[in-house]
């Protein structure tokens, strides 16, 4: 066991994107989030613009560069397209968490930085992750203002009409890495953050006739659950979705963020109304669900109507659905998930139906053939 870090769960996820304003509007409309904060020249921040959005405990930041001084943001977007730059973990003591993680073997990205104004202070530090991402340790407990120093109220009055989606918080964050990189990053997270391997999907566990992947799930051993599946491609007849991601993202990075809801039927109905596109499953999926004869509280007809997937796991079950990639490249997407009766898994029973759905989209993009 390495140094204890005092991890307190996920805080926010930050994207680097071509246009923060467009991404903020999209999250407000399709995800039903509220634009709470803005940072840019008007708030004394040079060369870049960020919007901070919230819904319950789901916190998203979208950032773009507005001149060449912020070349790191340009370079990220030029290479990867719009994507997740960093996800953050709340800690009580940023210095202690950072030093402890480095002692455990983590690679530093940047040292603890404290920013402050009349509303208090925020401290953050970051570790490297995958090709170009970061894990941030953050303490915002002593800040009374909007999000962080440098943020203020949105300059324009932004009033977007959107259905209430009831999204609650981050459930898990998934990375895609190259062939033979999965164990490297699994060991990195386990060692650096005192995580443990929780689920191991080996060869043959997740595959269709055409494509396959390997996946391991690591999770925190202290504090609230922090779960991070990591996928790598596995040999198949055609190009797997993980290979497509690596090709299009030009490297390893974050594939999806899963968001918890307490009422998935309401959430998916609202998101569909808001214009969100989801992966589709054939009607026959629901026949087999009925045949399995498991008692779910929800009406299977309703699940079918909204295309929601159901996976049974011991005495519990989980309901989930994946959006289509939300940007221009077939890379990042969201997952919506509801866990019932203590289900802990990730929907292994749905992988077959989902993969076939993804492969249909890959074929349309012409990226199924190697």
Q: What minimum distance in Å lies between the beta carbon of 134 and Fe ion?
A: 20
- Nearest distance, CB of residue 74 and Fe ion, angstroms: 30
Cβ 37 to Fe ion shortest distance, Å: 28
For Fe ion, the binding residue among 11, 311, 313, 335 (CB under 5 A) is 335
Strands across the sheet with 253-261, in order?
Answer: 196-201, 212-219, 227-234, 167-176, 253-261, 333-340, 316-322, 309-313
Enter the tokens of residue 182.
Answer: 């999965």
- Smallest gap from Cβ 1 to Fe ion, in A, equals 27
70/231 with CB nearer Fe ion:
231
Is residue 84 involved in binding Fe ion (CB under 5 A)? no
CA distance 49 to 63: 6
What separation in angstroms does the CA of 242 have from each of 74, 177, 230, 232, 364?
Answer: 25, 8, 11, 6, 16
Other Cβ atoms within 10 Å of 141 Cβ, number: 13
For Fe ion, the closer of residues 126 and 318 by Cβ is 318
**Per DSSP, which regions of 76-219 are E strands?**
83-91, 108-117, 120-129, 133-139, 167-176, 196-201, 212-219
As measured in angstroms, the least distance from the Cβ of 50 to Fe ion is 26
Nearer to Fe ion, 112 or 316 (CB): 316
Convert 1-25 into a string of H (helix), E (strand) and C (coil).
CCCCCCEEEEEEEEEECCCHHHHHH
Whole-number minimum distance, CB 310 to Fe ion, in Å? 15
Region 150-169 residues binding Fe ion, contact defined as CB under 5 A = none
For Fe ion, the closer of residues 313 and 335 by Cβ is: 335
Site for Fe ion in 192-231 (CB under 5 A): none
What residues from 252 to 281 belong to the interface with Fe ion (CB under 5 A)?
Answer: 258
Query: Which C-beta is closer to Fe ion: that of 91 or that of 213?
Result: 213
Nearer to Fe ion, 225 or 237 (CB): 225
Residue 20 or 259 having the CB closest to Fe ion: 259
Size of the site for Fe ion (CB under 5 A): 2
311-334: string of b/e by CB count within 10 Å (b at 16+)?
A: bbbeeebbbbbbbebbbebbbbbb
Q: Which is nearer to Fe ion, 49 or 276 (CB)?
A: 276
Q: What's the rounded Cα separation, in Å, for the pair 339 and 359?
A: 26
State the helix-helix crossing angle for 182-193 and 94-104, rounded to 10 degrees: 130
Residues from 49 through 68 that contact Fe ion (CB under 5 A): none
Tokens 């890379």, residue located: 331
Least CB distance to Fe ion at residue 208 (A):
17
Smallest distance, Fe ion to C-beta of residue 172, A? 6
| Of 107, 98, 83, the residue nearest 175 (C-alpha) | 83
Region of 147-155, 263-271, 282-290, 333-341 interacting with Fe ion (CB under 5 A):
333-341
Under rule CB under 5 A, which residues in 336-365 are in contact with Fe ion?
Answer: none
Only segment of 73-81, 136-144, 190-198, 329-337 that touches Fe ion (CB under 5 A): 329-337
Burial (CB count <10 Å: 0-12, 13-18, 19+), residue 35: buried
What are the residues binding Fe ion (CB under 5 A)? 258, 335
């Amino acid at each position: 066991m390495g140094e204890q870090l005092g991890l307190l769960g996920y805080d926010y996820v930050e994207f680097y994107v071509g246009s923060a304003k467009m991404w903020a509007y999209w999250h407000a409309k399709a995800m039903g989030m509220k634009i709470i904060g803005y940072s840019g020249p008007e708030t004394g921040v040079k060369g870049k613009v960020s919007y901070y959005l919230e819904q319950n405990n789901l916190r998203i930041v979208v950032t773009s560069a507005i001149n060449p001084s912020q070349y790191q943001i340009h370079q990220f977007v030029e290479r990867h397209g719009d994507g997740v730059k960093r996800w953050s973990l709340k800690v009580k003591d940023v210095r202690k968490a950072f030093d402890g993680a480095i002692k455990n073997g983590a690679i530093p990205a940047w040292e603890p930085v404290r920013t402050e104004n009349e509303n208090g202070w925020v401290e953050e530090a970051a570790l490297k992750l995958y090709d170009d991402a970061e894990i941030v340790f953050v303490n915002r407990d002593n800040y009374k203002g909007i999000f962080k120093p440098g943020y203020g109220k949105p300059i324009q009055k932004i009033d977007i009409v959107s259905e209430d989606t009831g999204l609650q918080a981050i459930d898990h964050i998934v990375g895609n890495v190259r062939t033979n990189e999965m164990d490297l990053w699994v060991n990195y997270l386990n060692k650096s953050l005192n995580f443990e391997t929780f689920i191991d999907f080996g060869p043959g566990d997740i595959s269709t006739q055409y494509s396959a992947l390997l996946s391991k799930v690591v999770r925190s051993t202290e504090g609230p659950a922090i779960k991070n599946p990591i996928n790598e491609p596995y040999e198949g007849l055609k190009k797997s979705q993980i290979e497509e991601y690596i090709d299009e993202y030009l490297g390893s990075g974050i594939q999806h963020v899963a968001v918890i809801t307490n009422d998935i039927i309401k959430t998916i109905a609202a998101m569909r109304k808001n214009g969100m596109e989801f992966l589709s499953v054939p009607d026959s999926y629901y026949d087999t669900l009925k045949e399995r004869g498991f008692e779910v509280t929800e009406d299977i007809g309703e699940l079918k109507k909204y295309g929601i997937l159901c996976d049974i796991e011991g005495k519990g079950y989980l309901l989930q659905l994946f959006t289509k990639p939300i940007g221009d490249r077939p890379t990042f997407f969201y997952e919506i998930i509801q866990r019932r009766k203590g289900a802990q898994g990730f929907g292994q029973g749905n992988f077959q139906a989902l993969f076939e759905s993804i492969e249909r989209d890959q074929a349309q993009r012409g990226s199924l053939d190697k």
